[in-house]
Structures are given as C-alpha cells and as structure tokens.
C-alpha cells in the first residue's frame, strides 16, 4: 500500500482486489467545459479531458459511472465514498450514478461545503458559493464518528478570555441552578448561594475548585467580591466544538497566502479532507483517491496514520503529490512508492546490486535466489528451474557468456541437458546491453553444441528512459538594506520526453540529501530569492513528461557579492 500511481484510474482499478478499500474520496474534473478544468496541461490530463469531452453531459456521466462502479466493487462492506462535485452535474451524478450503483438507501448525506463568500458579482445575480459532496456507504454497517466544528470558528465568538497561562481561550459560564435544588443551597467560600441553589453538589464544586476551574470575582485589592457570583471556567481546548450536520461553512478554501497552497487551481483544503477521513475511517484503514491531483487526500491520510493509494493521469499531479509527501515525511513516516510508466536508466544502473537483481528477476517472472553472491554463478531461476544471471552493466563481453555456460550446467546438470535436447534455453542473462562478442558467442554455442543462452536487455523487461539533463545559472540581482542579497536562478533542462516543470529547495541540506521543495510548481524554471550572508545550498529539480527527474545543487557564498563555491 501507500502508492502513487500514474495512469488512467479505470485501467488501474480494474486490476485491484475487490473489497480492499475503507474510504474513497474523489474530486473528479467537473463538467464545466471550461479551460480551467485543465489543471496541469500535460499529455495525460489533456487525453483524459478530451476523453470526457467528446460528448455532452451523457458522455460525461457514462465516463464517470464506469469508474464509480469499480469504486463500489473496491469498497469493503463497511466502506464509504465521498464524491465531490458542483452544480454543473451534481443532480445527474446523484440520480444516474450514485443512486443506481450504491442504491438510494445507502445515501448518507449531501454535504454542502461553502467554499467562498459572496463577491461583487453577487450584487447582480445569485451567487453559487457551494460545492456538493455526495456521501454514500456500501451497506448500512459503516464506520462513522460524529463531526464537530473547528474550535477556531467558535473561539472568537464565545471563548474570548485568555490569561496567557498556557491554557488558551476560555469562557465564563453561570453556575447557578436553573431549577430550585434544596440540596445545592450552601455557602461556598463565603459566597452566598444563588436563589435556586448552585448547579453542582459540594463535592463537585470542591473538585472544580481544586482543578482551578472556578473563577472568583475580585475587588481592586484582590480580595473576593462577594456581591458578585463565582463562575465556571470552560477552556476551549477541552470542548469538542459544535456538533455538525451536512452544512459546512467553517472550512475556508485554500487562500493565496496559505502555507498549504501549492499553486494549482482546484486544490482542496486539508481541513476538508481531515474532516472526511476522521469521520469515516480508523487508523490503519485504507484511504483511496482515484483523482488525486496535488495529493491533498493522501497527504492528510498519511498525517492521520491511514494507509493510502492515489492515482492520477497527470505526471505533474503525481510528482507534486510525491513532493508534498516528501516535505512532510519524518523518521516515523511510512514508506511509499511511486509507479510511473518509465524507469530511470541511471537510477537502476546505480542501484544497490543485490536489490536490483532481486527486482529485475521478479519483473522478468523468475524467482531470485535471495542470496548475496548468487548460487553457483546464478542469481535466480525461472519456474521450471532454468537459471538466470543478472549483470548490472552495459556492453557485456564474451567471457560472461563462456562462464555462464559453465555455471548453468553446474547449477542443474540434468535440467541443462534436458533443455539442450529439447532446443530450450539453458539459461538467461539479463543486462543493460550486450557487446558484439557476446552475441557471436551465443550464436556459436547454439550452432556447435545446441546450447541456447537467451540474452535479455533490461529495457525488454521494464520501459526505460534517461532522466533530464540539467544545469543552473546564477546572477546577483541586488543587495538590499537589510543585508539580504537577492539572487536570480535560471534552470536549463532538456529531456527527450519534454520538460514539464521545476521545483526549488532554497535550504537544501548537503548532509541529509533530501529535497524538500520550497517552490513546488514552477513552469518556467526561473526564481529569485533573498539570502543572508553565508554559505547556501540551492537545489533545483527538473521533471519531464515521463515523471523522471534530475536534481542539480549549487553552493553559493553570499558576502556582499555572490560567488559559486
Ligand atoms: C479536480 S482535480 C483533483 C484535485 C485534488 N482533490 C486536490 O486537492 O489536489 C482532478 C484530477 O483528476 C485527474 N484525472 C482526470 N481524469 C483522470 C483519469 N481518468 N484517471 C486518473 N486521474 C484523472 C486530473 O489530472 C486532475 O489532477
């Protein structure tokens, strides 16, 4: 689990196991036929856009329905689905998709999320300020925890006191009994009881007093003011908030100045996903977002200790989600994998040899021996026992073939001779490429001794691509009055697949070697940033259309003037 997958969600879902998911949130592209519906603009997304738009609303509904059917199959019987949409198609989605697939009886609510306030155009016409989130479950036995509004929303209104003693905001409430209660009519620390008595019995009053939860009115000299009544102190952080139903007006859309803002339209606020995930899943559950976009759902799921799975057809969406996850990863975070269409040649070439052997043999359909150093010159075997050898290098020479023909015989003599007789391969060698000598030796062995050795290039097993080439240029712009120096960086990148975007880390740590993006989505590759005097490492990442990336780091010394070091 914990995977980000590039591709059309329909194809990927079809390969997934039934009843394996606890919660699905989807925020598919809306039916609006507007340019802003194309968010990333890369090949994958445009393909999907055209796919939905080759017809009108019926086509859109059919496109979505096919996918929602798969989601229904994937949900566990206790699972829930939240489908985020807007006025363009919310009615059709409910009637033609959700009621049909999940059944009207499994409708749990239409969440109305107010994402914006009325602006000027609301003076001319009725402004639509809300989105709809359809909420259905698979059966009537589902996970649900009540939802309470955020404290911030109520704090300013009701909890206005703060002694700055670390306990936060509080309110003072009445502690007189609403009905006459003879057993609560006692004097308390010199304060006479209210007309109908106190709200609490003496023991409870003592307990509240000991916990510092009673406020005593005082005079200027600090002594108790017996003409007023003590009150109960209620701290905001001890309250749950207001119990909520389906109208959510307390979650703001991602604002332009917000920390979580990445810089693409349709990004949903983390608070919204937090509320949905907390209401309908438990720690360790699996949360799935088939239209993951910039990764809001999975970033929140990860924070809340859920397992997760995200799919998007856009390479940019996947890479932005990956970076967001990396930015929040710490020592305790669970690992995750990113599945792209192509693998980075150089990365595989330089990977730990043992890991590489195991990985490529499995992808080839064999079983790795799982022993460092191999077994009699072989690294794994096919199902029938025929040996496999892996060479993590290029241009394999004639000696490798000669040695392998000996090792393959030693590994299993009977099988070797049987394969030889039946004109079957006696073994496989996997490598990045083979030299002419090796190919000729293979031909000679076949002609002279009927020994067939199959040479398999890594790119016949997994699609490979070369990562982008990248360099950075720097230019000092100015030194401002506060002693900060502004530097302009220009990234220059090329890739056969075409460059999609750049990301920047202005505080790259040489020790950790972990890229934590300060700017995640920069289409131009041009940034300026201000630095204090000292030595700084700046890293830029170039991502291409296959999702392959290159990182380049520059070290600059800033001391009135800028020098690359
Ligand atoms: C509205 S955005 C999701 C935004 C996301 N909720 C967030 O907060 O960042 C919709 C996403 O669906 C993706 N998409 C569209 N068609 C798809 C398909 N068939 N398979 C997978 N992803 C698709 C788009 O690339 C886009 O990133």
Strands (DSSP E) along 166-285, which ranges?
Answer: 169-174, 214-215, 231-235, 247-248
499 lines ligand 1 (CB under 6 A): no
3-state helix, strand, coil in the chain (%, to 5): 30, 30, 40
% of the chain exceeding 90 in pLDDT: 76
Window from 115-119, 137-141, 355-359, 436-440 with minimum mean pLDDT: 115-119
pLDDT value for 6: 96
How is residue 204 written in tokens?
Answer: 């409870």
Parallel, antiparallel, or unpaired for β 3-6 and 337-339?
parallel
Q: What is the 3-class SS of 136-166, one letter each residue?
A: EECCCCCCCCCCECCHHHHHHHHCCEECCCC
Of 294, 258, 255, 256, nearest to 273 (Cα)? 294
Please indicate, yes or no, whether residues 49 and 109 belong to a single structural domain of this protein.
yes
512 phi and psi angles, rounded to 5 deg: -70, -30
Q: Does position 153 have pLDDT exceeding 70, yes or no?
A: no
Sign of the CA dihedral with 196 first, then 202, 207, and 209 last = positive
- Please work out whether the CB of residue 266 comes within 6 Å of at least one atom of ligand 1: yes
Q: Which residue has the higher pLDDT, 60 or 424?
A: 424
Ligand 1 near 294 CB (within 6 A)? yes
d(CA 238, CA 416) in angstroms, rounded, equals 74
27 alpha carbon – ligand 1 mean position (Å): 7
- 331 vs 17, more confident: 17
Would the CB of 29 count as within 6 Å of ligand 1? yes
Q: What is the C-alpha separation between 60 and 96, in angstroms, rounded?
A: 11
In the listed set 339, 360, 376, which residue is the last one of a domain according to the structure? 339
Q: 250 CB less than 6 Å from ligand 1?
A: no
How many domains, in total, are found in the chain?
4
**140 and 164 fall within a common domain:** no
Ligand 1 atom closest to the CA of 268, numbered from 1: 8
CA 9 / ligand 1 centre spacing (Å)? 9
Mean per-residue pLDDT, 340-348: 94
Q: Looking at residue 395, which CATH number applies to its domain?
A: 3.40.1350
| Same-domain status, 8 and 113 | yes
- 555 in the same domain as 519: yes
Domain end (from 293, 324, 339): 339
Q: What is the mean pLDDT of the chain?
A: 92
Q: Domain ends where: 298, 315, 339?
A: 339
170-221: pLDDT as tens digits: 999 999 999 998 889 999 999 999 999 999 999 999 999 999 999 999 999 9
- How many whole angstroms from 32 Cα to the centroid of ligand 1? 14
User: Which of these ranges, 11-15, 240-244, 323-327, 521-525, has the smallest mean pLDDT?
Assistant: 240-244
Q: Is 319 in the pocket of ligand 1 (CB under 6 A)?
A: no
Interatomic CA distance for residues 385 and 380, integer angstroms: 9
CA–centroid distance, residue 57 to ligand 1 (Å): 18
pLDDT over 80 at 163, yes or no: yes
Q: From CA 72, how far away is CA 89, in angstroms rounded?
A: 20
pLDDT tens-digit readout, 246-268: 999 989 999 888 888 888 778 99
Distance CA 535, CA 205 (A): 61
66-70, 237-241, 320-324, 503-507: least confidently modelled range: 237-241
478 token code pair = 């100015």
Given a cut of 80, whether residue 95 has pLDDT beyond it is yes
Q: Give residue 251 CA to ligand 1 midpoint distance, Å.
A: 21
Q: How far is CA 180 from the centre of its chain?
A: 57
C-alpha distances (whole Å) from 130 to each of 11, 88, 108, 155, 258 are 32, 12, 19, 24, 20
Q: Examine the domain organization and report whether 68 and 130 are in the same domain.
A: yes
Q: Is 267's C-beta closer than 6 angstroms to any atom of ligand 1? A: yes
**2 contacts: CB under 8 Å, gap ≥ 6:** 302, 307, 308, 309, 334, 335, 336, 337
Q: Does 118 lie in the same domain as 13?
A: yes
- Please check whether residue 171 is in contact with residue 151, taking contact to mean a CB–CB distance below 8 angstroms: no
Indicate the top mutation candidate among 29, 262, 299 to test ligand 1's pocket, ranked by most ligand atoms within 8 A of CB: 29
Q: What is the pLDDT of residue 510?
A: 86
Q: How far apart, in whole angstroms, are the C-alpha atoms of residue 218 and residue 206?
A: 19
Please report the pLDDT score of residue 165 as a whole number: 83
The pLDDT-based confidence of 161 (bands split at 50, 70, 90) is confident
| Ligand 1 center–CA 389 separation, angstroms | 42
Q: Best mutation site among 4, 24, 292 for ligand 1, i.e. most ligand atoms within 8 A of its Cβ?
A: 292
Q: What is the DSSP letter of 510?
A: T
What is the mean pLDDT of the segment spanning 90-100?
A: 97
Q: Is-contact 315 5, C-beta < 8 A?
A: no
Tens of pLDDT, residues 424-479: 999 999 999 999 999 999 999 999 999 999 999 999 999 999 999 999 999 988 77
CATH number of domain containing 140: 3.40.50.150
**Ligand 1 centre from 348 Cα, in Å?**
29
Protein residue with its CA nearest to atom 26 in ligand 1: 293
Contacts of 111 (CB under 8 A, 6+ apart): 82, 132, 133, 134, 135, 246, 247, 248
Give the DSSP H/E element, type plus range, for residue 272: helix 270-280
- Measured from the Cα of 30, ligand 1's closest atom is 1
For residue 136, the CA-to-ligand 1 centroid distance in Å is 20
271 lines ligand 1 (CB under 6 A): no
Q: Give the pLDDT score at 44.
A: 74
Token output for 220: 């200027």
> pLDDT confidence of 167, banded at 50, 70, 90?
confident
Q: In what order do the strands lie in the sheet with 169-174?
A: 161-162, 169-174, 231-235, 214-215
Q: What is the pLDDT of residue 262?
A: 87
Confidence at 29, pLDDT banded by 50, 70, 90: confident
Best residue for ligand 1 mutational test, from 313, 323, 501, 520 (most atoms within 8 Å of Cβ): 313
CA distance 414 to 406: 14
The answer to whether residues 174 and 215 touch, using CB atoms and an 8 Å cutoff, is: no
For residue 403, give the nearest of 438, 440, 436 by alpha carbon. 438
Q: Are residues 17 and 128 in the same domain?
A: yes
Lowest mean pLDDT among 20-29, 36-45, 96-105: 36-45
Ligand 1, atom 27: nearest CA belongs to which residue? Answer: 293
Please tell me whether residues 414 and 380 are part of one structural domain.
yes
- Do residues 268 and 400 both lie within one domain? no
Q: What is the mean pLDDT of residues 405-424?
A: 96
CA–CA gap between residue 360 and residue 453 (Å, rounded) = 18
Q: How far apart are CA 470 and CA 487, in angstroms?
A: 19
C-beta of 321 in contact with ligand 1 (< 6 A): no
Domain that holds residue 473: 466-564
- The contacts of residue 384 (CB under 8 Å, 6+ apart) are 415
**307-312, strands of its sheet edge to edge:** 247-248, 107-114, 130-137, 75-85, 21-26, 286-289, 307-312, 3-6, 337-339
Residues 29, 157, single domain; the answer is no
Closest to 342 in 3D by CA, of 460, 432, 458, 464 = 464
Return the structure tokens found at 231.
């009150």
Q: Are residues 139 and 256 in the same domain?
A: yes
- Is 312's C-beta closer than 6 angstroms to any atom of ligand 1? yes
Residues 26 and 135 in one domain: yes
């Amino acid at each position: 689990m914990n995977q980000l997958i590039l591709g059309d969600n329909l194809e990927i879902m079809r390969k997934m196991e039934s009843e394996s998911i606890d919660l699905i949130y989807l925020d598919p592209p809306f039916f609006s036929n507007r340019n802003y519906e194309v968010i990333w603009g890369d090949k994958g997304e445009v393909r999907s856009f055209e796919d939905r738009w080759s017809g009108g609303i019926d086509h859109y509904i059919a496109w979505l329905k096919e996918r929602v059917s798969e989601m229904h199959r994937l949900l566990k019987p206790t699972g829930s689905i939240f489908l985020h949409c807007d006025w363009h198609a919310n009615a059709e989605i409910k009637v033609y998709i959700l009621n049909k697939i999940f059944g009207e009886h499994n409708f749990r609510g239409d969440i109305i999320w107010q994402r914006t306030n009325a602006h000027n155009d609301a003076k001319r016409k009725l402004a639509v300020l809300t989105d709809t989130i359809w909420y259905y479950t698979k059966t009537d036995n589902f996970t649900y925890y009540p939802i309470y509004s955020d404290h911030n929303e109520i704090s300013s209104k009701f909890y206005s006191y703060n002694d700055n003693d670390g306990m936060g905001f509080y309110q003072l409430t009445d502690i007189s009994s609403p009905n006459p209660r003879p057993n609560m009519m006692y004097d308390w620390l010199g304060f006479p009881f209210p007309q109908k008595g106190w709200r609490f019995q003496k023991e409870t009053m003592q307990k509240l007093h000991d916990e510092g939860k009673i406020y005593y009115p005082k005079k200027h000299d600090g002594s108790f003011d017996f003409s007023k009544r003590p009150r109960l102190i209620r701290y905001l952080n001890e309250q749950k908030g207001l119990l909520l139903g389906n109208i959510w007006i307390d979650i703001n859309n991602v604002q332009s100045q917000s920390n979580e803002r990445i810089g693409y339209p349709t990004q949903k606020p983390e608070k919204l996903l937090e509320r949905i995930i907390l209401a309908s899943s438990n720690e360790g559950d699996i949360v799935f977002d088939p239209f993951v976009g910039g990764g809001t759902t999975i970033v929140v799921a990860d924070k809340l200790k859920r397992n997760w799975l995200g799919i998007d057809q856009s390479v940019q969406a996947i890479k932005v989600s990956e970076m967001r996850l990396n930015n929040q990863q710490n020592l305790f975070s669970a690992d995750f994998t990113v599945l792209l269409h192509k693998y980075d040649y150089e990365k595989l070439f330089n990977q730990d040899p043992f890991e590489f052997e195991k990985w490529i043999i499995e992808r080839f359909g064999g079983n790795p021996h799982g022993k460092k150093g191999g077994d009699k010159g072989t690294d794994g075997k096919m199902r029938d026992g025929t040996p496999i050898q892996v060479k993590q290098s290029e241009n394999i020479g004639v000696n490798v073939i000669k040695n392998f023909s000996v090792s393959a015989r030693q590994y299993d003599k009977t099988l070797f001779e049987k394969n030889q007789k039946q004109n079957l391969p006696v073994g496989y060698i996997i490598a990045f490429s083979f030299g002419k000598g090796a190919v000729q030796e293979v031909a000679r062995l076949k002609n002279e001794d009927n020994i067939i050795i199959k040479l398999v290039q890594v790119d016949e097993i997994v699609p490979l691509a070369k990562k982008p080439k990248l360099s950075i240029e720097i230019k000092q712009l100015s030194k401002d009055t506060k002693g900060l120096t502004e530097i302009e960086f220009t990234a220059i990148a090329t890739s056969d697949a075409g460059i999609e975007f750049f990301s920047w880390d202005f505080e790259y740590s040489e020790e950790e070697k972990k890229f934590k993006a300060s700017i995640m989505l920069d289409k131009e590759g041009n940034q300026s940033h201000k630095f204090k005097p000292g030595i700084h490492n700046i890293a830029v990442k170039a991502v291409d259309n296959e999702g392959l990336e290159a990182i380049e780091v520059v070290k600059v010394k800033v001391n009135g003037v800028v020098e690359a070091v």
